[in-house]
Protein backbone atom coordinates (compact mmCIF):
# COMPACT_ATOMS: atom_id res chain seq x y z
CA UNK A 1 0.00 0.00 0.00
CA UNK A 2 1.39 3.40 -0.91
CA UNK A 3 0.76 6.76 0.79
CA UNK A 4 -2.14 7.80 -1.47
CA UNK A 5 -3.89 4.44 -1.01
CA UNK A 6 -3.46 4.77 2.76
CA UNK A 7 -4.87 8.31 2.61
CA UNK A 8 -8.00 7.13 0.77
CA UNK A 9 -8.48 4.18 3.11
CA UNK A 10 -8.14 6.38 6.21
CA UNK A 11 -10.58 8.97 4.86
CA UNK A 12 -13.19 6.26 4.32
CA UNK A 13 -12.52 4.76 7.76
CA UNK A 14 -12.77 8.17 9.48
CA UNK A 15 -16.30 8.79 8.13
CA UNK A 16 -15.93 12.58 8.15
CA UNK A 17 -14.06 12.79 11.47
CA UNK A 18 -10.70 14.52 11.82
CA UNK A 19 -7.95 12.13 10.74
CA UNK A 20 -4.20 12.17 10.25
CA UNK A 21 -1.55 10.00 8.63
CA UNK A 22 2.20 10.29 8.42
CA UNK A 23 5.13 8.42 6.99
CA UNK A 24 8.65 8.95 8.23
CA UNK A 25 12.04 7.51 7.41
CA UNK A 26 14.87 7.72 9.91
CA UNK A 27 18.46 7.13 8.85
CA UNK A 28 20.90 6.38 11.65
CA UNK A 29 24.62 7.15 11.69
CA UNK A 30 25.40 3.54 10.71
CA UNK A 31 23.21 3.98 7.57
CA UNK A 32 20.44 1.78 8.99
CA UNK A 33 16.98 2.94 7.95
CA UNK A 34 13.71 2.61 9.81
CA UNK A 35 10.28 3.63 8.63
CA UNK A 36 7.13 4.45 10.55
CA UNK A 37 3.58 4.65 9.24
CA UNK A 38 1.07 6.30 11.57
CA UNK A 39 -2.70 6.57 11.23
CA UNK A 40 -5.11 8.42 13.52
CA UNK A 41 -8.83 9.12 13.73
CA UNK A 42 -10.26 11.58 16.24
CA UNK A 43 -11.34 9.80 19.40
CA UNK A 44 -8.83 6.96 19.12
CA UNK A 45 -5.11 6.56 19.80
CA UNK A 46 -2.43 6.99 17.14
CA UNK A 47 -1.52 3.66 15.58
CA UNK A 48 2.15 3.58 14.52
CA UNK A 49 3.73 0.57 12.81
CA UNK A 50 6.52 -0.28 10.40
CA UNK A 51 4.02 -0.64 7.51
CA UNK A 52 0.55 0.59 6.53
CA UNK A 53 -1.16 -2.79 6.93
CA UNK A 54 -0.10 -3.14 10.57
CA UNK A 55 -0.91 0.51 11.32
CA UNK A 56 -4.46 0.05 9.99
CA UNK A 57 -4.88 -3.23 11.88
CA UNK A 58 -4.00 -1.43 15.12
CA UNK A 59 -6.51 1.33 14.41
CA UNK A 60 -9.23 -1.14 13.37
CA UNK A 61 -8.79 -3.01 16.67
CA UNK A 62 -9.53 0.26 18.49
CA UNK A 63 -12.53 1.18 16.36
CA UNK A 64 -14.01 -2.35 16.31
CA UNK A 65 -12.56 -4.16 19.34
CA UNK A 66 -12.99 -7.93 19.48
CA UNK A 67 -16.08 -8.95 21.41
CA UNK A 68 -15.41 -10.56 24.76
CA UNK A 69 -16.91 -13.95 25.40
CA UNK A 70 -19.04 -14.19 28.55
CA UNK A 71 -17.46 -16.17 31.36
CA UNK A 72 -19.48 -18.15 33.86
CA UNK A 73 -18.07 -17.64 37.33
CA UNK A 74 -19.28 -19.90 40.11
CA UNK A 75 -19.69 -18.18 43.47
CA UNK A 76 -17.45 -19.44 46.25
CA UNK A 77 -19.54 -20.87 49.06
CA UNK A 78 -16.73 -21.49 51.49
CA UNK A 79 -16.19 -18.75 54.04
CA UNK A 80 -12.69 -18.27 55.33
CA UNK A 81 -12.40 -16.83 58.82
CA UNK A 82 -9.37 -14.74 59.64
CA UNK A 83 -8.07 -15.01 63.21
pLDDT at 50: 96
Q: What is the pLDDT along the chain (83 residues), one digit of tens a residue?
A: 999 999 999 999 999 999 999 999 999 999 999 999 999 999 999 999 999 999 999 999 999 888 888 888 777 777 667 77
Q: How many CB atoms lie within 10 A of CB 51?
A: 13
pLDDT at 71: 80
pLDDT at 73: 79
pLDDT at 45: 96
Instruction: Report if pTM > 0.85.
Output: no
The whole-angstrom separation of Cα 47 and Cα 22 is 10
CA-nearest of 23, 25, 21 to 59 is: 21
Amino acid sequence: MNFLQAKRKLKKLAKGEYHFLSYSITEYDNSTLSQECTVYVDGYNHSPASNWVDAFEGLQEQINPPKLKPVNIEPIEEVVKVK
